[in-house]
Amino acid sequence: MAPPPVMRFGEGMRILVLGGTVFLSRAVAAAAVARGHDVVCAARGVSGAVPDGAALVRWDRAEAVPAELTETPFDAVVDVSRIPSHVRRSVAAFPEAHWTFVSTINVYADTATVGGTPATLPLLDPIETDDDPASGPETYGAMKVACENLVRAGAAAALVIRPGLIVGPGDPSGRFTYWPARFAQAAEDGLPVLVPEPVDDPVQLVDVRDLAGWIVTAAERRTTGDYDAVCPPVPRSELLARVGDGTGSTPELVAVAPDVLAEHDVAPWSGPRSVPFWAGGLVEGGFMTHDVTESLEAGLTIRPFAETARDTLAWLRAAPDATVTGLTRDEEQEVLAAVRG
């Protein structure tokens, strides 16, 4: 089904981005400014600067909405919060706007079904308070479920977008960044790179710029409904091949079994001494196999992974203090030496 024609409110929309200083919310604000919209970012202003062309209104969302934000109506609102009370207060203040709520694929209770969609996968029970009794993806997902419900119940038009791993320049998590950085190190030192088995397990991700562009497009079209926001599943080996293309590096890749990695205290996903972007036993086999056909039909585009890797490495070199999680190069080589005997 072809996407509906773009509908705008006059020459440009008035868009409120709740955030706008870090990674995705900043990319949304930048994309909206680039398309000629009037963009206001509401944030505390302590995590960074808003993009050129966007206005900043300082707001700690634990407090009342500033009058400066309620004086003139907004055509669209974009929110990335995980705190139910923050979302509840904001929706009540701007109920007539088109709302885009950026949720997460961690809202799903089923991580086993292959090819799941928002229409087929059950959700976690919501955590409707701001209490965070335990850390982890289920608590995070349950609070996002509550936020989704608040947006659907209170906004005149609601779009819920559920990304998986968001990657690209500016990524504060350092998970995908690990791979372009590691391939670049391998090009310099000539040493191999450790990869987890099975090397052809499916993975899904989305470039922050593609996601931000889709969010703005969806606001322009007043798209509603629930959508996942990741690429179609690709084998990890294919993703890493494209990382090699983007970084100009073709290192030897040494596959290591999960049980061997565990024996050497190597963790999955993120954090010190981990292999980032490897889910391991954290979730079941459907976690990175979502069917995103409807999302692509609704306007999500996926750029070549080589471009994402190239631009991520360029950003990292320009910001050498940026976070890169995972095994250090020395730790990785120690594990490989032990595995190879």
User: Which phi and psi angles does 129 have, rounded to 5°?
Assistant: -105, 175
Structural domains of the chain in order of their starting residue, each with its CATH number: 14-167+205-229 (3.40.50.720), 178-203+233-340 (3.90.25)
Residue 134's CB is within 10 A of a number of other CB atoms, namely 9
For the cut 80, the answer to whether the pLDDT of residue 119 exceeds it is: yes
pLDDT value of residue 340? 86
Tens digits of per-residue pLDDT, 264-295? 999 999 999 999 989 888 788 899 999 999 99
How many Å apart are CA 182 and CA 316, to the nearest integer? Answer: 12
| pLDDT at 336 exceeding the cut of 80 | yes
The predicted model gives 52-61 an average pLDDT of: 97
The two counts, helices (H) then strands (E), for the chain are 11, 15
Instruction: Give the pair of three-digit tokens for residue 158.
Output: 């609601």
Which band of pLDDT confidence, cut at 50, 70 and 90, is reported for residue 3? very low
Task: Read off the pLDDT band of 234 (50, 70, 90).
Answer: very high
| pLDDT (0 to 100) of residue 131 | 75
* Coil, strand or helix at 42: strand
Mean pLDDT, range 307-312, rounded to an integer: 98
The pLDDT tens digits for 122-168 are: 999 999 999 775 666 779 999 999 999 999 999 999 999 999 999 99
Per-residue pLDDT tens over the stretch 13-37: 999 999 999 999 999 999 999 999 9
Average pLDDT taken over every residue of the chain: 94
> Going by C-beta distance under 8 Å and a sequence separation of 6 or more, which residues neighbour residue 325?
173, 174, 175, 177, 178, 270, 271, 272, 274, 276
Residue 6 has pLDDT above 60, yes or no: no
| pLDDT at 184 > cutoff 80 | yes
Tell me the H-state helices in 122-278: 137-154, 178-189, 208-221, 236-247, 258-263
Is 269 in contact with 278 (CB distance < 8 Å)? yes
**Residue in this structure with the two tokens 């994309």, named with its chain if needed:** 31
pLDDT bracket for residue 11 (50, 70, 90): low
- CB 215 within 8 Å of CB 78: yes
**107-118 pLDDT, tens per residue?**
999 999 999 999
- Number of C-beta neighbours around residue 148 at 10 A: 21
What is the structure's pLDDT at 244? 98
